[in-house]
Amino acid sequence: MFAYWMLHYRRIWRGTFVISVLNPLLFLSGLGVGLGALVDRMDYVAFLAPGLLAAAMMQTAAVEAMRPVYRAVRGSYLAAAATPLGPGAIQRAHLSFQAFRIVTSGAAFVLVMVLFRVTGPARAAPLLAASLLTGLAFATPITAWAVGLDRPQALEALFRFGIMPMYMFSGTFFETDSLPDVPRWIVEALPLWHGVELCRSLSLGTAAAGPAAIHVTYLCVLAGAGLVAGAHRYRRRLHA
Amino acid sequence: MTDVLVRAEALTKIHGTGLTAVDGISFELRRGEAFGFLGPNGAGKSTTMRMIACVSRPSGGSLSLLGLDPVADGPRIRARLGVVPQEDTLDDELTVAENLYIYGRYFGLRRPEIRERSARLLEFAQLTEKLDDRVSALSGGMKRRLTIARSLINEPEILLLDEPTTGLDPQARHVLWDRLFRLKQDGVTLVLTTHYMDEAEQLCDRIAVMDQGRFVAEGSPRELIEAHSTREVLELRFAPGEQEAAADKLGGIAERLEVLPDRVLLYADDGERALAAAHGRAVSPITSLVRRATLEDVFLTLTGRSLVE
């Protein structure tokens, strides 16, 4: 079924490229040039870029896990469920495609970061791995949620009240250390904050084993929980 | 030896909401026959089909398909089934050929094999010239024919059709019936649900009449009509407000009398004689019609309700 998603993607890849790569890059250049004029430009771009990378991974994951899943439950999943493919195979195929989308968007982003010397070439591989993990930590739980969804309005609500605020307030644009205690605790409990911190520390070369392990564990647990919940919900939805 | 392809005993489905959709039905489907589940919306037809298609686990009773257990061997059974769902699940954004290719891949078929079968199936579905068109450009009838062509890509032993012509215009329905009739002639075992009695009469060798999750009758269309209806039916239509009074005067003329919202039905072996008797009682309908009894009448007799409400 992975072939199905790829065939589909061939028709729409230009649009998704704009959303997941071009938009954050424009953001980066705009903010980098604009705000960078006020602070030390190169330092701020180096700080901002990995934050935007993590946020872009979240956004790509959300875009791939919301409407496509909601629609597939009413179309292509049903078609596939009537064939030898079971709910597990259908889930894995879609997840593979989501991972492909996350990795390719992330790779384009990281490549630009390396070309502009925002990060070093040696840091590219771990950075890409961290961005994939960040994306998956969103892709699997959102997919599990969208599979059981009955009304499309909820998708809009998640984007507006979940994804967008997280994009803005998870330390993507600023140091969370500067926040007062309570907002800081809230921000640091958010999955994107862990993604941003992990990507940023890897990109700047400041990663320390302890915090990195916490971020990786947090994101892995989230991705794993989404996978397990998804397996259950795919089965319930497609083989009720 | 295994001429029985599907065997169900006391098959039951209780949904998570506690609703009993299928309530202990038993049946056997034999190779090469066309079997229909006839009933109104909510009778349990689609749920029964989903259990036969191995995408819904029975809550009780037993079900065996092609000699296998649908719970343990779901994928193996589904590999030998063709499914035409009630709602089209084609991909509108892909072409006709791509839809067939993807579906063939789900069955593990290789590209040359799919290409060869697609050509044959599109010819059968009268869609050859649409090969490279996007599905979104097809009419409702073409989409249904494509869905049927798609369901045959794995050369299934049983073809399941859930309300195959619902929502189609009369012309498209007749084209579709013609295609299904050809499949039947070719020896494909057809299992279909419908709430159109003419569809059931045209296509099915045997029918199970379903109501509220149960079978209320089973047999060939002819057997059902003979067992549960008179040979002919007299239909009388009256001006608004006059129907009840007229029905009171018609007592005893026919074996049975049914008052529907828009007409009165009189069940009699000789419809013309019943009409003459009605005129003799000074009843003056706006229109009258003598026709042969159909499965609709069987359903009405058995359940007291119309099939399409």
The answer to whether A129 and A203 have CB atoms below 8 angstroms apart is no
Q: What percent of chain B stands above pLDDT 90?
A: 63
Q: Is the pLDDT of residue A38 over 90?
A: no
Please state which of the ranges A181-190, B110-119, B120-129, B298-307 shows the lowest mean pLDDT: B298-307
pLDDT digits (tens, 9 = 90+) for B147-175: 999 999 999 999 999 999 888 888 888 88
Q: Do B15 and A79 touch (CB under 8 A)?
A: no
Beta strands at B256-259 and B214-219: parallel, antiparallel or unpaired? unpaired
Residues of B contacting chain A (CB within 8 angstroms):
15-16, 50, 53, 55-57, 74-76, 78-79, 81, 83, 85, 87, 89-91, 93-94, 98, 102-103, 105-108, 154
* A78 close contact with B: CB closer than 8 A: yes
Spatial separation of the C-alpha atoms in residues A26 and B146, rounded to whole Å:
44
Residue with tokens 């259950």: A232
- Residue B136, Cβ neighbours under 10 Å: how many? 12
Q: Do A238 and B55 touch (CB under 8 A)?
A: yes
Please state which of the ranges A20-24, A165-169, A203-207 shows the lowest mean pLDDT: A20-24
Strand order in the sheet with B189-194: B81-84, B158-162, B189-194, B34-38, B206-211, B214-219
pTM of the model: 0.86
The answer to whether B290 and B275 have CB atoms below 8 angstroms apart is yes
Model confidence at A35, pLDDT cuts 50, 70, 90, reads: low
The residue type of B302 is: L
Half-sphere exposure of A204 (CA within 13 A, CB side): 19
Mutation pick from B106, B134, B155, B191 vs chain A, by most beta carbons of A within 10 Å, is B106
In A, minimum Cα distance to B76 occurs at A84
- B146 contacts in chain A (CB < 8 Å): none
The answer to whether B6 and B80 have CB atoms below 8 angstroms apart is no
The answer to whether A109 and A21 have CB atoms below 8 angstroms apart is yes
Q: Cα distance from B303 to chain A (closest Cα, Å)?
A: 29
Tokens for A61, please give them. 């994951």
Please state which of the ranges A18-27, A172-181, B245-254 shows the lowest mean pLDDT: A18-27
Facing residue for B93 by CB, picked from A3, A11, A80: A11
* A16 close contact with B: CB closer than 8 A: no
pLDDT digits (tens, 9 = 90+) for B235-251: 999 988 888 888 888 88
Helix (H), strand (E), coil (C) string for chain A:
CHHHHHHHHHHHHHHHHHHHHHHHHHHHHHHHHHHHHCCCHHHHHHHHHHHHHHHHHHHHHHHHHCHHHHHHHCCHHHHHHCCCCCHHHHHHHHHHHHHHHHHHHHHHHHHHHHHCCCCCHHHHHHHHHHHHHHHHHHHHHHHHHHHCCCCCHHHHHHHHHHHHHHHHHCCCCCCHHHCCHHHHHHHHHCHHHHHHHHHHHHHHCCCCHHHHHHHHHHHHHHHHHHHHHHHHHHHHHHCC
ipTM of the complex: 0.83
Facing residue for A86 by CB, picked from B75, B90, B154: B75
The more confident residue out of A61 and B200 is A61
In B, minimum Cα distance to A3 occurs at B102
Q: Is the pLDDT of residue A22 over 80?
A: no
Q: Is the pLDDT of residue B72 over 90?
A: yes
Q: Which pLDDT belongs to residue B12?
A: 97
Spatial separation of the C-alpha atoms in residues B281 and B163, rounded to whole Å:
43
Greatest Cα pair distance in chain B: 73
Q: How many A×B Cβ pairs under 8 Å? A: 66
Q: Is the pLDDT of residue A71 over 90?
A: yes
The answer to whether B266 and B284 have CB atoms below 8 angstroms apart is no
Facing residue for A76 by CB, picked from B50, B81, B89: B89
- B83 contacts in chain A (CB < 8 Å): 82
Q: Is the pLDDT of residue A227 over 50?
A: yes
Q: Is the pLDDT of residue B2 over 60?
A: no
Model confidence at A158, pLDDT cuts 50, 70, 90, reads: very high
Q: Which pLDDT belongs to residue A32?
A: 67
**For the residues B291-295, what does the mean pLDDT come to?**
90
Half-sphere exposure of B204 (CA within 13 A, CB side): 30
Round the average pLDDT of chain B to a whole number and report it.
91
Q: Do A82 and B83 touch (CB under 8 A)?
A: yes
Spatial separation of the C-alpha atoms in residues B69 and B66, rounded to whole Å:
9
In chain A, residues 141-180 whose CB comes closer than 8 Å to chain B: none
Q: Cα distance from A147 to chain B (closest Cα, Å)?
A: 16
Closest alpha carbon to A119 in A68, A219, A40, A48: A48
The more confident residue out of B16 and A84 is A84
Q: Quick one: B149 exposed, middle or buried, by C-beta within 10 A (0-12, 13-18, 19+)?
A: buried
Beta strands at B4-14 and B81-84: parallel, antiparallel or unpaired? unpaired
Q: Is the pLDDT of residue B104 over 50?
A: yes
Q: Which pLDDT belongs to residue B40?
A: 83
Mutation pick from A1, A2, A7 vs chain B, by most beta carbons of B within 10 Å, is A7
In chain A, residues 79-118 whose CB comes closer than 8 Å to chain B: 79-86
pLDDT digits (tens, 9 = 90+) for A99-153: 999 999 999 899 988 988 889 999 999 999 999 999 999 999 999 999 999 999 9
Q: Is the pLDDT of residue B129 over 90?
A: yes
Residue with tokens 């009739």: B181
- Residue B304, Cβ neighbours under 10 Å: how many? 9
B/e letters for B104-113, b = 16+ CB within 10 Å, e = fewer, are bbbbebeeee
Q: Which pLDDT belongs to residue A204?
A: 94
Tokens for A202, please give them. 């890897």
Q: What percent of chain B stands above pLDDT 70?
A: 98
Spatial separation of the C-alpha atoms in residues A56 and A51, rounded to whole Å:
9
Helix (H) / strand (E) element for B101: namely: helix B96-106
Q: Which pLDDT belongs to residue B1?
A: 44
Q: Do B107 and A3 touch (CB under 8 A)?
A: no
pLDDT digits (tens, 9 = 90+) for A214-226: 999 999 999 999 9
